[in-house]
Amino acid sequence: MRKIVRRSRSTFSPLELRGSMLPGYWSSLSILRSACSISVEARILIPLLAEPEHCATSNSNRLRRRTSVWPSRWRFERLKIATMAGVAQHSQCCQWSVEQILSEAESEPRTVDVYAAKIEPKLANFIIRELNVKAPLPSLGHVKRIRRCGTQGALELSVILCPVNEAGTSEDAVMPTCVSELVDKHGLQPFIISVSEKPARTREEWEVQCQLWPTSFHPNAGKAELEELDQAAVHSMCTFMQMAVQVAHLARGYGQPGNGAIIVDPGLGAVVAWGYDGTGSCCSSVNFGSHSSATVPIKGSGRDPEEHQNSPVMASIETMLSSEPILERGSNTLFKVLKSPECFETHGNNSETDKHTGSKKFTGRQFLGHGLHPLRHAVMAAIEMAAARDRRLFPTDRISKCRPDETEFEDIPVSSKKHRSVEVIGDEHRARLASSTENMTKTDPFEISRPYLCTGFDIYITREPCAMCAMAMVHQRFRRVVYGVPNTLDGALGSRYRLHGKPTLNHHYTVFKVSISEETLL
């Protein structure tokens, strides 16, 4: 361990690590982002590096910031445990592969016809300039205007003149006058050729396209949605999916449908919330009369169910975690992580909950007896927990104070993304100011960056979500959705619908599928 640390210290100075956790520095430290969220080794070393003695070079002010914004030491321990759990499970999950589910179904590559002509290489510059002015091709921005088609030695160039007007019948009528003038002037001999209609989304598509006519391909440019993942990213994805699988196993242990979800802050590389299916209805054996003792986790745990009525989700989680047989069952390390305060204290503050439950509406949040609710799919449960965490970490009333006590926020794991906004809440009404993190660098680092819902977070689900859950994730603003087993009947992210391809939605996430099998969830 020490060895790793020493080697890495030359790469990551303590200052950088400290900075990486401060909202404003985030964007400039992408290398650290990848270190935090992806690399297993890096995540182990960060806690060690961030110990105060390694920050001796920081001035006192920086140190203050560090201690207040960085998680305290015990949280590093948990991060470490989380990582270890991932490593321990790696043997299984490294068998998995990851595939991106694009927002449009694979379709036959479509082409459009255009006029092209061979030109003298000497005239190329002139003609291209003329054409770009007189006959631009706005709909074919991905197509290269000029093609080199030389056969051994002799350089031959062809240019695209203009699209073939499909409505036109005779060839003379379809070419715009400006183009035909150019054709006449240089004695060009137009011919018709097909080019691909849409930009390539994958490298494979691009290679096919280029056989027709060269096009350009930008894997990570705005419009091309395909994200190229490196090995570390794939590994990280599989590791988190493994955790979701363990949550599914846990649910299964309670006679619930085997489906689990975890919400990950990629900045911290840590699980911030999780949930499992609590519908109880997909198991055909579930019948109130006969199963009550089998599926009631509360029983035997020595806890009074009434005590937790105000936050039944959390109650069921707590009961579940305190249930010894279950802890012995799966990976202990994971549940130590899950049990840890960061995930867990979301409900610890009862007054917060009480405030809401005082109103009649919030009693509606209670679930049916035995933790069941017909709509409590894994995703919904996880979102509920993330929302509870959000309410606890960023209580509405306190954020109006411009600088909270350091101690007060000592335990808050705050990560920030470039596009995550800051919200400052007024005393009486939901106010007003928001800021990009660029501004954060210039302003108060204690201005807590409250994420808007789950902006920038990733969610891992063991099964393809239904339309309800898929839309819930749109509403909650997830960055990325990673699911496991496809759901041919009701899956909304590739199987039955492709919700993330609906252009009218106000938010779009990217979707990945990890190739886990049904058996994995049993």
Partner 1 sequence: MDGTLSSDVVTFMHLAVEEAKKALARLEVPVGCVIVENGKVIGSGSNRVNETRNATRHAEMEAVDMILAPWTPSECPEAGSIKEQLTKKFGECELYVTCEPCIMCAAALAILGIKKVYYGCGNDRFGGCGSILPLDTDGCGGCGNSSSGEDDGDSAKRRGFECVGGILADEGIALLRGFYEQGNPNAPRPHRPVRAQDSSLAD
Contact flag: residue 402 with partner 1 (CB under 8 A): yes
Residues 322-361 touching partner 1, rule: CB under 8 A, are 356, 361
The residue range among 37-45, 98-106, 108-116, 444-452 that interacts with partner 1, by the rule CB under 8 A, is 444-452
Interface residue with partner 1 among 9, 452, 501, 515 (CB under 8 A) is 452
The residue range among 168-176, 236-244, 329-337, 385-393 that interacts with partner 1, by the rule CB under 8 A, is 385-393
What CA–CA distance (Å, rounded) separates 384 from 389?
9
Interface residue with partner 1 among 79, 474, 481, 511 (CB under 8 A) is 474
Contact flag: residue 399 with partner 1 (CB under 8 A): no
The residue range among 104-112, 131-139, 190-198, 370-378 that interacts with partner 1, by the rule CB under 8 A, is 370-378
Q: What is the CA radius of gyration of the chain?
A: 28
Contact flag: residue 445 with partner 1 (CB under 8 A): yes
Interface residue with partner 1 among 130, 277, 342, 458 (CB under 8 A) is 277
Residues 284-313 touching partner 1, rule: CB under 8 A, are 284, 286-289
Interface residue with partner 1 among 79, 263, 264, 461 (CB under 8 A) is 461
Interface residue with partner 1 among 69, 102, 472, 482 (CB under 8 A) is 472
Q: Do strands 480-485 and 458-463 pair parallel, antiparallel, or not at all (unpaired)?
A: parallel
CA angle 317, 321, 323 (to 5 degrees): 120
What CA–CA distance (Å, rounded) separates 459 from 478?
7
Which of 68, 462, 62, 441 shows the shortest CA–CA distance to 238? 462
Tokens (6 digits) for 433:
């100011």
Return the number of the residue (175 or 262) whose C-beta is nearest partner 1.
Answer: 262
Interface residue with partner 1 among 17, 102, 383, 511 (CB under 8 A) is 383
Contact flag: residue 369 with partner 1 (CB under 8 A): yes
Number of residues located near partner 1, criterion CB under 8 A: 91
Return the number of the residue (37 or 256) whose C-beta is nearest partner 1.
Answer: 256
Residue 506 DSSP label: S
Contact 378, 313 (CB under 8 A): no
Letters for 92-121 (x = contact with partner 1 by CB under 8 A, - = none) are ------------------------------
Letters for 403-442 (x = contact with partner 1 by CB under 8 A, - = none) are x---------------x-xxxx----xxxxxxxx--xx-x
Interface residue with partner 1 among 94, 141, 374, 405 (CB under 8 A) is 374
385 residue type, one letter: M
Interface residue with partner 1 among 265, 342, 390, 458 (CB under 8 A) is 390
Contact 393, 412 (CB under 8 A): yes
Contact 41, 11 (CB under 8 A): no
Return the number of the residue (41 or 410) whose C-beta is nearest partner 1.
Answer: 410
Which of 496, 510, 485 shows the shortest CA–CA distance to 260? 485
Residue 213 DSSP label: S
Report CA 276 to chain centroid distance, whole Å.
Answer: 19
What CA–CA distance (Å, rounded) separates 238 from 240?
5
Interface residue with partner 1 among 280, 297, 413, 494 (CB under 8 A) is 280
**HEC string of 341-376?**
HHHHHHHCCHHHHHHHHCCHHHHCCCCEHHHECCCC
